Structure 1
Amino acid sequence: MTTQQDGRDARVAVLVDCDNVQPAILDHALRFVAQFGRVVVRRGYGNSGALGGSRWQEALVQQAFTPCLQYQYASGKNTADIALALDALELLFDETVDTFCLVTSDSDFAYLCRKLRERGAIMCIVGESKTPQALRNASDHFSEWEPLPDVMQAEITKPANENGLVAKSADSVRPPAKQRPMFVVKAVALLASDTPEGKVTLSALGNYLRRTDPGFTPDAYGYSGLLEMLRTYDLLQLTQEPGSHWTVKLHLDNIQRMPVNPLTGKPNAS
């Protein structure tokens, strides 16, 4: 799935319209674009009303985004959108990146998407359910983010914090208890969705997990390696292919047996 040029990973810019989306969308956006390449630019655009609040400040700092504050020169004028568009064109012309991810549901960006694609860039959009069809169709890849139900969010974040990292006590000497964070299953679902056989290699999965969290390591969850970790998941199936390499895919039967689909948070059909 990873886009490569000249034998190297694609360089990705994630540009967020903070006036239009919620801070909780950032985790989803970064996990989505990690399949396409290495994120080298992270910027969040907004006016003082959005970026001045604690919610966006905390989210941008936690995910290492550069805040791009744009004051409104006149009432009703959104200068942040113009700044985002100009910066995107500059990044393309300077050849800083070759893949863009706009995090917005604002159809005003459809024209920018078309211009960037005409110049050869790969365009990704991450938006909410309100995203108009015109913006969805202006991208090469669209991902819709939906807030998880409170009960599902509590279950997913129970073994780890928002970054997927296990909290460690400074004086703790005991190895961590074995845990199975849900983001691993979601990573397999994302990477395998576009493959003919619905599976992904172990190495591709490991690379993706390290892109989304540079500090990811199986031993933080009580395992000596990724293969040992994946063997404990009831929702995943492992296969040793010819040549001794391993692949993993979703265990669809086990997922369907659950009353609530763990990937969507919606009830399964009985």
Structure 2
Amino acid sequence: MTDQPRRLAVLIDAENAQAALLNELFAEIAKYGVASVKRAYGDFTSTNLNAWKAALLKHSIKPVQQFNNTVRKNASDIALVIDAMDLVHSKRFDGFCIVSSDSDFTGLASRIREEGLTVYGLGEKKTPSSFVEACDKFIYTEILKGPARTSAGRKEAVPAPKAVALPAEILTILQDAVDSASDDSGWANLGRVGHIVGNRLPDFDSRSYGQKTLTALLEASGEFELQRRGPKGGQQHVVVRVKPKR
């Protein structure tokens, strides 16, 4: 039986997101499923959202216009929440992507998860921890910015990988995850390790530490040993263990 792609509803708080990052945002979202619904909420008559007008058309995003007629009442947030619950009850989606750095969506994320659906949050590093923790996974938009390009359009050279000194808290969590997933020999499947870390830290991402993958991050830290197992030329898997202390 063929696996069906996960259907995702992408709801964007345009007043708390950057139109310039939409290419990167949708490239990231494509890793988790198909963006079946794409909506952006805001007062698009405001000069603050001028950059969104062309972006909405380019990415086939449905704009949901909300006039902010009342001071201190964000009509866009309310409209996003109402639409999200309508979509939840339609039973047509496997998950939701909420693009915002606003803690007002903490309750919404928790409520969607109660329905057994996955919630991906995408926002800036200033996002309050309450919203981050309410999501299954949270991606900081700062890490989505690709390498700078030259005037000729070529990507600038990427510097050679360097050793990574991980914060003590992150290193401990990684070590605990390896220990939890390890077999009697002390080796753990890397995929299982990544799953455990993601459950503990929704905002964990190897790119935050300058490495594209968890494999590269563990290797660069110098604290772990990794092996690739499986038939030569065939499908292999990576196992990891904490380096024995000398």
The alpha-carbon distance between structure 1 residues 92 and 149, as it changes in their structure 2 partners (threshold 3 A), is closer
Give the paired residue count: 172
Work out the CA distance in 1 between the residues paired with 2:143 and 2:152.
14
Work out the CA distance in 2 between the residues paired with 1:147 and 1:68.
28
Q: What residue in structure 1 maps to residue 231 of structure 2?
A: 242
Note the aligned Cα RMSD (angstroms). Answer: 3.6
Q: What residue in structure 1 maps to residue 80 of structure 2?
A: 84
Work out the CA distance in 1 between the residues paired with 2:32 and 2:125.
22
Q: What residue in structure 2 maps to residue 158 of structure 1?
A: 153
Work out the CA distance in 1 between the residues paired with 2:7 and 2:47.
26
SS of the residue aligned with 2:72?
A: coil
Offset at residue 154 of structure 1 (A) = 2.1
Offset at residue 33 of structure 1 (A) = 1.8
* Greater than 6 Å deviation, 4+ residue runs: 147-150, 246-249
SS of the residue aligned with 1:48?
A: coil
* CA deviations over 1:18-50 (Å, ceiling 9, x no partner): 011221232232122212111101111101355
SS of the residue aligned with 1:84?
A: helix
Work out the CA distance in 1 between the residues paired with 2:106 and 2:152.
34
- Corresponding letter in the other structure for 2:112: L
- Contact kept, 8 Å, 1:92 with 1:98, in 2: the verdict is no
Query: Counterparts of 1:145-224 in structure 2 under 5 Å?
Result: 145-146=141-142, 152-155=147-150, 158-159=153-154, 196=190
Work out the CA distance in 2 between the residues paired with 1:244 and 1:145.
36
The alpha-carbon distance between structure 1 residues 25 and 51, as it changes in their structure 2 partners (threshold 3 A), is farther
Question: Of the candidates 14, 17, 22, which is equivalent to residue 13 of structure 2?
Answer: 17
Offset at residue 93 of structure 1 (A) = 0.4
The alpha-carbon distance between structure 1 residues 53 and 106, as it changes in their structure 2 partners (threshold 3 A), is closer
Work out the CA distance in 2 between the residues paired with 1:141 and 1:157.
36
* CA deviations over 1:98-129 (Å, ceiling 9, x no partner): 21000000001000000000011100000001
SS of the residue aligned with 1:24?
A: helix
SS of the residue aligned with 1:82?
A: helix
Question: Of the candidates 131, 135, 142, which is equivalent to residue 138 of structure 2?
Answer: 142
SS of the residue aligned with 2:121?
A: strand
Gap regions ≥5 residues in structure 1: 1-5, 161-179, 183-194, 199-238, 250-270
The alpha-carbon distance between structure 1 residues 122 and 147, as it changes in their structure 2 partners (threshold 3 A), is closer
- Contact kept, 8 Å, 1:51 with 1:57, in 2: the verdict is no
Q: What residue in structure 1 maps to residue 90 of structure 2?
A: 94
Gap regions ≥5 residues in structure 2: 159-188, 193-227, 239-246
Offset at residue 245 of structure 1 (A) = 4.9
Q: What residue in structure 2 maps to residue 113 of structure 1?
A: 109
Work out the CA distance in 1 between the residues paired with 2:136 and 2:151.
29
Q: What residue in structure 2 maps to residue 55 of structure 1?
A: 51
Work out the CA distance in 2 between the residues paired with 1:248 and 1:196.
8
* CA deviations over 1:146-174 (Å, ceiling 9, x no partner): 18889x422499249xxxxxxxxxxxxxx
- Contact kept, 8 Å, 2:124 with 2:141, in 1: the verdict is yes
SS of the residue aligned with 2:6?
A: strand
- Corresponding letter in the other structure for 2:54: E
Of the structure 1 ranges 65-74 and 21-30, higher mean CA displacement relative to structure 2 is found in: 21-30
The alpha-carbon distance between structure 1 residues 247 and 54, as it changes in their structure 2 partners (threshold 3 A), is farther
The alpha-carbon distance between structure 1 residues 140 and 147, as it changes in their structure 2 partners (threshold 3 A), is closer
